Every structure is written in structure tokens, then in C-alpha cells.
Structure 1
């Protein structure tokens, strides 16, 4: 006689309501960024485990990214509707942020936003969350047209750049960044600008109108171009044509600058310590039918067999210059991280300088809006390395709207090209070894 299966002491968990797994994943993702300091793009994979549908994964990313973009303003709304301020790390506050950003930014109907938010409280103060959300919705809550920067970020940037800079940065925060592409053949700039329906701001560049299906555009499958912010293209532009000379592209992945240099006739050795990112670089080179020697190595341990004609060091940095695309950086980066990365940059810059031939060129770049990673770095380097001098760029070497500073280097901030969609924040210095 067959035995009767034992009855579980615990009731089976009810299946998740539609849309709830994505909201639960968004909660995990925000916790990873705000509590652990993980980069949003890296934490997304772990937070979205079990979510297969691409649209649902995109929703997870959108909820988290827009929550981070509007966090100070979301918190101001929540605080306006609570008698006692919720702790910053309270789950009720995080769940309210998620519900509000869906209703006020992503266009989710309020009833759906709160229905998928309440289960996230997990037996906590559901009544409080429901009441605060209802109060704000009945009061026709809105978010400011220009999101507020985190106070500590605004203060740091104002101290470095003046009060106008954080104001411009806040305005740029809410504008969808444009899509820039770099052309494999700069002589075809006019043709590709017409075919892609875009505008060129420099030879070999086209700025596209808003477009989501990038891989479906003409020329992508043929490898005629690749996506690269116009500011990110400046470091390689400052090295000009290679004519077969040798260049070291340090911290090269995912390969935008490597492709630029190869297309410009340089013999490129691309070095990065991430094998995974170098696989992507190799795939990108194959798509555009360009070649480079690819090396997986930590620059603190590696050295070339002989000095090169040119070295491009796109140094590891805080990436605060790409905050528009990655709003999590403003929540993860502070004085400690800036100081740590500045120390690493200084060490890499000294090593890279030894790998430049006499008469050769060294380009240093960071996608950071922190002077410690740009201006201060090069000022100190030049004071200690008299074999190098700044080689200021000529106007024709730079995109429209970008100019060299009085010191001879390039700094892109949110102000230039604001009327055309802006640029990422970059610092670039070109130096010649005597």
C-alpha cells in the first residue's frame, strides 16, 4: 500500500502577482547600489536572477535608475507626508521611492504602482506606505522639472567649478543623452550624417536623433561605425594619424579608442586587466574589420618590450562625467573613492610615461568631473616630470563647441554643447616627451 506523502508544516507561498518579481528585483538592485556601493550595471545581473523576459529586466533597470536620478526629490515628497521622518535605510522609504517613481516618472497607473509595492514591505508598515502614497497621489504630487543633485555632490562641484556648473549639471541630468557614433572612415562623414539623419560635430562623427534600435541602423552590421560619446573620442583624435607607428592603448576595453586608433593607421596594442571586457573589445574589432594586439594584464605589473611612439592612458576613474547615463555614480562616489582613484591614476601615469619614446606623445584622459582626477593630476605630473610638456590641441582637432583651456588641456563640462544635447564630462591632456 502506497504511503501518504507527509503534509508540510508550512503553507505554500502564493505565486507572485504579475509585475511583482520586477519590483522585487528593483528593490534588491537599489539596495546593492545604496547600501553596498555596487555599480548599477554590474549589480543588475545578480538582482534580476530568475527574470527572463527582456522587457521585465529593462523595467528593473528603469525603476532603479530613475529612482537614483530623482532620489532627493522623491525623499522630499515622502518627508512632506510623514509626521516622523523615516530613516534613510528604512524599507518603507525605499518601497515608497519605487512606487512614486513609477507613478510620477515611468507613467505606471498609481493603483498598479502601489499594488506591486505593498508586498515588498514584507509584513512591515503596509498601512503607512499605503497612506503616504495615497496622500501624495490625492495631493497631485509632482517632481521638479529639473531634478535636485545630492547636496554633497552639488557642493563639491560648486567648489571646483563655480555655482553655474551644478545648476547646468542638474539640467543635463534630466535630458536624455544623445547617441554619438564614430565612423571607421572619416572621409564619409557627410554621407553617413545624411543616411543616419544626424548632425556631424567633427570629422568622423555623427550625432543621431533619439534612437533605441541602434543595431538596426544602416551601417551597423557592416561595421561602418560604433557608438561613442563625442567627448570620449577626443583622446584618440589628439594622436592624429598613425602611419604604421606603434601606440599603447592602456585600460582599453571596451575598445572605442582602440578602434579609432586602428582606423587612423596606428599599430595598436590594447591592454586591459579584464579578460571579459577584452572579449567584447575583440568582438567589436571583428565587427568593424579592424585589428589590434590584445593583452590581458594589470598595468601595475606589465611593461612593454620597448617604448612606443604614443601612449593613451584612459585611466580608471570615478566616472562622474557619465552621471547622466549612470546616475548611480553620484550615490557611490565620495571623497574617499576620489582620493583612492587619484592615487592609482598617479601611479599608472608614472608607469605610462616610461613607455613613451623620446619625441613621442602621451595622452591622459578620465571621464570624471573631479579636478583631483584631471587638472590636479597633470599639474603634479608635469611638476615632477620635466621631460614632458603640454601640447595644446589646435582648434581643428576638436569637435565644434569644445575648446582647449588656457593651460592647453581639454575639459568638457555640462555647459558646452548644451543646446545640442551636451557631452559627457572628460579631462584630456596631450603631452610630448623631449
Structure 2
């Protein structure tokens, strides 16, 4: 019996193949990079998995500009889903953004189009490199996204979003003990925008190796994501944290003195929440359940809803949302948010606080939800100190996009 074996692929090619699979999962199937990562990178390991992620993420971050370069160097436009186009995208992003030498960038891509338009890919890449191709300082947003955000927030916001996606986001930390802000800012070499917050910029050690991580003195949380729990403040009563995982807001509430019940449907995400609670030595009751099938035993003093949403506000770290989120998905999620919000409103004690938040830049997932709630429930009033809509660039040094509304239930 004859045995056949396949020669191993040239060094670096499996990593680029994994990157193409990630891009394909986002653009063709609407998956997030994180959801697609295990399957797409099953043949690569260690640092190569991280490199595949980086190539895919930077390609998606720069996609309109990469396509403009490619279209300017081809006689006839390549189909959007052509393998030759994707191969050129990842070769160009390596050479123009990630610092890969051009000869290595193209050499690791050409085997991916073996038996196909190899000469085309090689020729277009060579033409662009010899012509001194560059990418704009501010990446272009996908036109559909730019139009949607321009209509909702204006041209200034679109420009701020372009600036936000161009710059590596800082690392924001929330402290378990806000009174130690000055101490941890000095120890970590960071700056603070408010009590209980430290921001690190530039190069720093891996998160797990930073001072204070092992003893649970802080956790990673974008500064905008910390504002919903800050809107509730300190307390000694019962607080519900709904859609709670991975637990940043749960830990904030527990550290502020609340007795917290953290509710989420995802077992994997709740595993991370439990790990975070263990590391920080903070306590909360954890419940895995679909919110639409559950109700607390009694109303709570405070209810925080970090509702499932399109997550378009976190595009700086997750540029895939710019390409996989569309109006139909936003509408579907808005309908789910409305059901959750109306249901959870009944779980607030008279005199209690309801905070609704989404990491979205879509009005349907923010302002429209609160307007509908106030029409349907006349026993709630919007607090004057509500942070409201937080757009890119609202916080010095950068922030995720968020919507936050704080409401009081009347007696």
C-alpha cells in the first residue's frame, strides 16, 4: 500500500491562510474575529495565532483604503470576494502597516493563490510597491457606516471616529479601591482621568504581569464602560447586573458596597466573570439564565442593564464590527433590547435606580430605547446627571462609544 504525504507549506504561509479565513468569516458570514478565531487558526499556534489575528484585524481596519489601492492598480476591478483581492489586502497591510519586508509579505501570500491568479497578485503588489504606495493617516470608514453615523451625529463625529481607529487605544484600568488612585497611577506609570481609574499608554508589560493584577487591585475596563456603574454609585442595598459578563461592572458594584446578583446567559463569559471575582476577592451571586425566562425573587434597589447590542462603539479594538454590523442586525438587536428593558424595569424598587447602557453608536440602541420606555412607563423619570451619548473623542485620549441613561423609579 502506497503512503502519500503532503509537503509542509513554506514558513509563514499557514499564518496568512488563517488570516484569510478570519477575514472571510467576517465579510462573508458576519462572524466576529473572536468567534471565528478557534476554527480559523486551528493549524497555527502560539505567536503565529496572534499574528494571524493582527493581520486580519489591521486588514479590516484599513479595508476601504486597501481596496482603493488595489482598484487603482488593476485594469478591471476584482470581485469583492475574490481570493486575489484578499491576498493583496493582507500582503499590502503587512508591508504598509505591520512593517513586514515587502519580499516576505508577497512570498507568504503567493502560495495562497497557487493555481489561480498568482501572476496578477504578484504584478499588482510589485506595481504598488515600486510606485511608493502609502495609506492615508486617517483610515476611511466603510461608506455605509460613514453615511449612517454622519446622518446620526454629523461630520465631526465621523472624523473623530477615523482618528480613533487610526491610533492604538490605551489600556484603561478600574481600581477596586478608588482612594488608591494616586498610588496605582505612580506604581503603574499611568495617568488618571477620574478617581478609581488609571490609563496606560505606549508600551507596557503584558496585563497579567503588571503590578496589582495578581492581587486583584484592578481590572481592565475602557473608561467609557466604567461609567454605567459609576452612575449608580456606592450603596448598601441589592443591585442586579444584567448581561453582566465578563464582570467589569459587577466588580465595580461589589467594590462600591452593593450586594450584587450578576446575570448572564453565556456560560463561557460567566466563567471569565467568576475568574475575575476570584482574582479580585469580590463577591456576587452569579446566575446563568436567559433574562427573558427569569425574574428576581424581589425588586432591587438598583438595576444595571448592559444590553446585548451591535457593539459598534468598540470599533477601535474590534474593527470587524464596521463590516459585519448592518441596519437589519441593529433593528433585530433593538427589538431584543426593548423587551429586556421593559421586563427589567419591573425589577426596580420604588425610589430605586435603573441604568441602561449599550456599547453602541446607533441611536436605535440608545436614545430610542429610553424614549420608548418613558412613553410606556410613566413611573420612571430620567435623571439630570445622566451621561447620555458618549461619542468617539469625547474623553481626552480616546474612549469607546457608549450610550448610558440613568432613571429613577417614582415612589
TM-score bracket relative to the smaller structure: over 0.9
Q: Which residue of 1 aligns with 2:407?
A: 431
Partner of 2:176: 184
Once the 2 structures are TM-superposed, how far is the Cα of residue 278 of structure 1 from its aligned partner?
0.6
2:74 to 56, 77, 82: 82
Mapped to 1, the partners of 2:13 and 2:246 lie a distance apart of 34
The residue that corresponds to 1:340 in the other structure is 332
Matched residue of 1:232: which SS?
helix
Structure 2: stretches of 5+ with no match in the other structure: none
Which of the residues 210, 229, 240 maps onto 1:217? 210
Across the aligned residues of Structure 1 and Structure 2, the Cα RMSD in angstroms comes to: 1.0
1:389 aligns with 2:369: no
Find the counterpart in structure 2 of residue 62 from structure 1. Answer: 54
- Counterpart check, 1:238 vs 2:245: no
Higher alpha-carbon deviation: 272-281 or 207-216: 207-216
Larger radius of gyration: 1
- The aligned residue for residue 259 of structure 2 is 267
**In the alignment, which residue of structure 1 is the partner of 2:397?**
421
**2: distance between equivalents of 1:337 and 1:69?**
20
The 1-side partners of 2:371 and 2:331 are apart by 16
Report the secondary structure of 1:254's partner residue. coil
C-alpha separation in 2, matches of 1:16 and 1:88? 27
Task: Say how many residue pairs are matched.
Answer: 409
Of 257, 264, 279, 2:271 maps to 279
- 1:161 corresponding residue in structure 2: 153
Contact 1:175 / 1:421 at 8 angstroms: preserved in 2?
no
Partner deviation per Cα, 1:271-300 (whole Å, 9 max, x = no partner): 000111111100000000101000000001
Residues 220-274 of structure 1 show CA distances to partners (whole Å, capped at 9, x for unaligned) of: 111110110111001101111122x101100000000000000000000000001
SS at match of 2:198: strand
Match for residue 360 of structure 2 among 346, 365, 368: 368
Distance 2:179 2:393 in 1: 29
What residue in structure 2 maps to residue 95 of structure 1? Answer: 87
- Residue 44 of structure 2 corresponds to residue 37 of structure 1: no
Give the TM-score normalised by the residue count of structure 1: 0.93
Structure-2-length-normalised TM-score: 0.98
**Alignment counterpart, residue 140 of structure 2, candidates 130, 144, 148:** 148
- The alignment partner of 1:300 has SS state of helix
Superposed CA deviations along residues 277-326 of structure 1, whole A, max 9, x for unmatched, are 11110000000010100000000111111111110000000000000000
Give the whole-Å Cα distance in 2 for the aligned partners of 1:36 and 1:69: 18
The structure 2 residue matched to 1:109, chosen from 82, 88, 101, is 101
Structure 1 partner of 2:388: 410
Q: Shift of the alpha carbon at 1:213? A: 1.1
For 1:55 and 1:187, locate their aligned partners in 2 and report how far apart those are by CA, in whole Å.
38
Point out 4+ residue stretches in structure 1 off by more than 6 angstroms: none
How many Å apart are 1:212 and its aligned residue? Answer: 4.8
Aligned partners of 1:197 and 1:209 also within 8 Å: no
Distance in 2 (alpha carbons) for counterparts of 1:340 and 1:299: 17
Name 2:19's counterpart in structure 1.
26
Once the two structures are superposed, what CA deviation does each residue of 1:79-104 show, in whole Å capped at 9, x if it has no partner? Answer: 01100110001110011101111111
* Structure 1: stretches of 5+ with no match in the other structure: 1-5, 394-407
SS in 1 for 2:313: helix
Q: Secondary structure at the match of 1:238?
A: helix
- The structure 1 residue matched to 2:119, chosen from 114, 121, 127, is 127
Q: CA–CA distance in 1 between the matches of 2:159 and 2:205?
A: 28
CA distance in 2, matches of 1:178, 1:289: 26
Cα drift, residue 409 of structure 1: 4.4
Partner of 1:7: 2
Does residue 175 (structure 1) correspond to residue 170 (structure 2)? The answer is no
For residue 209 of structure 1, report the CA deviation from its aligned partner: 2.2
Q: Per-residue CA shift, 1:119-158, capped at 9, x if unaligned?
A: 1013111011111011111111111111100011001000
Moved more, 210-219 or 196-205: 210-219
CA distance in 2, matches of 1:411, 1:18: 47
